[in-house]
Amino acid sequence: MRLASLLAAALSMAAPAFAQTPIGDADAGKTVFAQCSACHEIGQGAKSRIGPHLNELFGRKAAGIDGFRYSKSLERAGADGLVWTLDKLDAYLENPRVLVSGTRMSFRGLRKKKDRDDVLAYLRAFSESPANIPEAEPTARKVEVELPPEVLAIKGDVAYGEYLSSECKTCHQLDGSDAGIPSITLWPEEDFVLAMHAYKQKIRIHPVMQMMAGRLSDEEIAALAAYFGSLE
């Protein structure tokens, strides 16, 4: 009894204050999160992909996952003491580049307060404590294209990729900044390959990218993925 209440006290001290404030509707937030899931995983076993995984996000220091290659801006923000509290996450989701100007997160932002509240409620459910992360599936990425294993296994020729990438760089900025055209640097190679094949097969809909990817061979896509993944 005494021990239990001590433990409870210790836990509540450790648990940040956010745990008490209700935000929005986590179920509705799951739907909103679909927009995030092209890059971010969350849930049991979630891994960092194009973006860092989002388990235990609340209270995490910005750029706080070891081994993930963040933008310089986000690294700087973390070093300057930015911590992902409810307020900061709300501001970041409203317009990422207003809070962190050089972020590589290519996301225009959620303008509606309700959408932000709901998705934050959903995210917070995965932040309580590692043990409490809901049993649910790690929100797997949408599988856009099925590629034969031999295509995924192609080892990209980085030098060829560098030449091919010069064509990408007319629009996409090498440092990953996004002034209206999304960042493509430092993606995991497999995600890059999948995305390009999704354009090539016209499953992803952007006409410029369908055209650009449409004339690249499997080897050329692998070369680009290897080059963009190898930067820095």
Query: Among the candidate windows 14-22, 68-76, 189-197, 208-216, which touches other proteins by CB under 8 A?
Result: 208-216
Residues 6-35 that bind other proteins (CB under 8 A): none
CA-to-CA dists, residue 232 to 53, 139, 185, 206, 227, angstroms? 21, 29, 10, 28, 10
Q: Is 68 in the site for other proteins (CB under 8 A)?
A: no
Given the complex with other proteins, which of 20 and 170 has the nearer CB atom? 170
Of 117, 82, 111, 119, which is closest to residue 94 (Cα–Cα)?
Answer: 111
Residue 167 in the binding site for other proteins (CB under 8 A): yes
Is residue 159 near other proteins by the rule CB under 8 A?
Answer: yes
Query: Cα–chain-centroid distance for residue 56?
Result: 14
Is 94:110 a contact under the CB 8 Å cutoff? yes
For residue 7, count other CB atoms closer than 10 A to its CB.
Answer: 10
Amino acid at 27: D
DSSP per residue, 125-144: TTTS-GGGS-SSPP-PPP--
Q: Judged by CB under 8 A, which of 178, 193, 204, 226 binds other proteins? A: 178
Q: Least separation, in Å, of the C-beta of 46 and other proteins?
A: 30
Q: Is 111 in the site for other proteins (CB under 8 A)?
A: no
Work out how close the CB of 167 gets to other proteins at its nearest, in angstroms, rounded to a whole number: 6
Does residue 169 belong to the site contacting other proteins (CB under 8 A)?
yes
160 binding other proteins? (CB under 8 A) = yes
Asked whether position 158 contacts other proteins by CB under 8 A, the answer is no
DSSP string, 113-127: HHHHHHHHHHHHTTT
Residues forming the site for other proteins (CB under 8 A): 159-160, 162-164, 166-167, 169-174, 177-182, 207-208, 210-212, 214-215
